[in-house]
Amino acid sequence: MRLNIKLNKLVAGLVLVVLSFSSCSAPDKSQDTEKQDVSEEQISDKLKVAVFNGNGAGSTSVIETIEALKIDAGISPMEISAAEIQLGKLDEIDVIIFPGGSATKELNNLGKSGKEKVRKFVLEDGKGAVGICAGSYIMITTPGYPSLELAGVKYVDRAHYNRGRGLVEFKLGEEGLKIFPELKEKPQFAQYYDGPVVEVIDTNSTTFTELGQYVTDISHKKGYPTGVTPGRTFVYTDKPGKGRVFAIAGHPESTPGIRWMVPRMARWAANSELVSYPAKWVRPEINDHAILFDSEMIKYESQTKWKLYSDDTYEQTEALDKLHEIRSRPAVRWTIGLLRDTNPKTRIHAAKALMDREYTDAYADVKSAYEVEKDAKVKKVLKEAMEFLSTF
């Protein structure tokens, strides 16, 4: 199926979504999608959210998390290293996000003193921590598993931690829908890559809240048990000490249609007002079925990728469409190079695909392509892509 991107819908998507949040005491504030001059005072009022970029943090996960945070005009996103944590930079931020990658490597990079600084940041200073996939692993409290021990959940089925990747379904409960009301009666799917399966340690806990569960049975590897993930906790919050923790097993920052969940998670962790986001980002309905990357799908992805190098523009664009159909996570980055293809039809298709996949990190590439483009039709689409991918 060919990409069917209707630019008039993209423009209409700039209309803001007006929501009511029963979980907030403060009134809702919608955000203007137009660029605005912001004073130093307004900048200082923004939530300061830092994404950990130390060893173990996946570089792509760091980039995509930062890009997702940019959806929120009230958040000032930045990166933070273990060295900066050691030097006291946590004092300058409101929320720390541990992204996808390797939880044990991230913790090793923090070191024991870094771990204690993060724990103090949450438990004593009353700040927020968000864990995404590997970052969710780092939050748990499991005997024998090195972690920050901030959340009241433990690791389940450690023997099969590398379950694989794909687009998986989850289901929010009543508490989850209070934080993400946009997902009520909407499809709920997220990119997944070896995320943790956990269960609550104390069922009588007054601080832990399960927000949503796995629906997809992620068991497509030979010898792996079935029925482990369905009904298990996929996304949750906890309130250890004076602080707040938000964790999710999947990768919303890498999932077009729900990337806005990341700044919402950061706001909850900061105990800040939850705000609505532009409609162009709130599109959960574009994902409607689970896709697991078993050996055959991985082979198909690899074979299809090679067709992007074809001299035949139809073969190129068809391959690109097929990769996006199967929600190939790396395919969006492969798309960027096609902006510099010699065939104008390929360049147009790549620009539209980047809009459809919401890949805001490609803005600079689209801008440079626009500046050197000679073909009027291509230039028009590149300009539309620039406008769409510009966060503010």
pLDDT value of position 26? 35
Say which range, 5-14, 62-71, 351-360, has the weakest mean pLDDT.
5-14
The DSSP result for 56-104, as a single string, is TB-HHHHHHHHHHHTT-TTEEEEEE-HHHHHTTGGGG-SEEEE-SB-HH
Query: Largest Cα–Cα distance of the chain, in whole Å?
Result: 65
What is the pLDDT at residue 33?
A: 35
Q: What is the mean pLDDT of residues 29-55?
A: 65
CATH of 21-286, one of 3.40.440.10, 3.10.129.10, 3.40.50.880, 1.20.1530.20: 3.40.50.880
pLDDT tens digit string along 378-391?
A: 999 999 999 999 97
pLDDT band with cut points at 50, 70 and 90 for residue 43: low
Predicted confidence (pLDDT) per residue in 176-188, tens digit: 999 999 999 999 9
Q: What are phi and psi of 228, to 5 degrees?
A: -80, -45
Q: In angstroms, rounded to a whole number, what is the distance separating the alpha carbons of residues 51 and 89?
A: 12
Other CB atoms within 10 A of residue 113 CB = 10
Average pLDDT over residues 344-370: 97
Nearest CA among 122, 392, 66 for reference residue 271: 122
> Exposed/middle/buried for 26, CB within 10 Å: 0-12, 13-18, 19+?
exposed
Domain boundaries, the chain: 21-286, 293-389
The confidence score (pLDDT) of residue 24 equals 35
Who wins on pLDDT, 15 or 107?
107
- Which pLDDT score is estimated for 1? 42
CATH of domain 293-389: 1.25.10
Alpha helix stretches (DSSP H) within the chain: 7-12, 40-45, 59-69, 82-86, 103-123, 134-139, 174-179, 261-269, 295-306, 313-325, 331-337, 344-356, 363-372, 376-389
pLDDT tens for residues 199-230?
Answer: 999 989 999 999 999 999 998 888 899 999 99
Cβ atoms 391, 365 nearer than 8 A: no
- Is pLDDT above 80 for 280? yes
Q: Is 124 helix (H, G, I), strand (E, B) or coil?
A: coil
Six token digits for residue 115:
């771990």
Give the whole-angstrom CA distance, residue 301 versus residue 391: 30
pLDDT in tens, 295-341: 999 999 999 999 999 999 999 999 999 999 999 999 999 999 999 99
Find the mean pLDDT for residues 57-75. 97
Q: Check residue 13 and give its pLDDT.
A: 43
Show Cβ contacts of residue 390 under 8 Å, excluding neighbours closer than 6 positions: 35, 360, 363
Structure tokens at 117: 């600084």
94, with CB counted inside 10 A (0-12, 13-18, 19+), is buried
- pTM, two decimals, is 0.88
> How many angstroms separate the CA atoms of 109 and 163, rounded?
25
pLDDT digits (tens, 9 = 90+) for 136-174: 999 999 888 889 999 999 989 888 888 999 999 999 999
pLDDT at residue 274 tops 50: yes
Least confident of 42-46, 255-259, 375-379: 42-46
Mean pLDDT score of the chain: 90
CB-CB contact of 305 with 319 (8 Å): yes
Q: Tell me which of 3-12, 75-84, 107-116, 211-220 is least confident.
A: 3-12
Alpha-carbon torsion (154, 290, 65, 49), positive or negative: negative
pLDDT of 220: 84
Residue 6 CB neighbours (<10 A):
9
Rounded CA-CA distance 327/255 in Å is: 9
In this prediction, residue 392 carries a pLDDT of 60
**Rounded mean pLDDT of 95-118?**
96
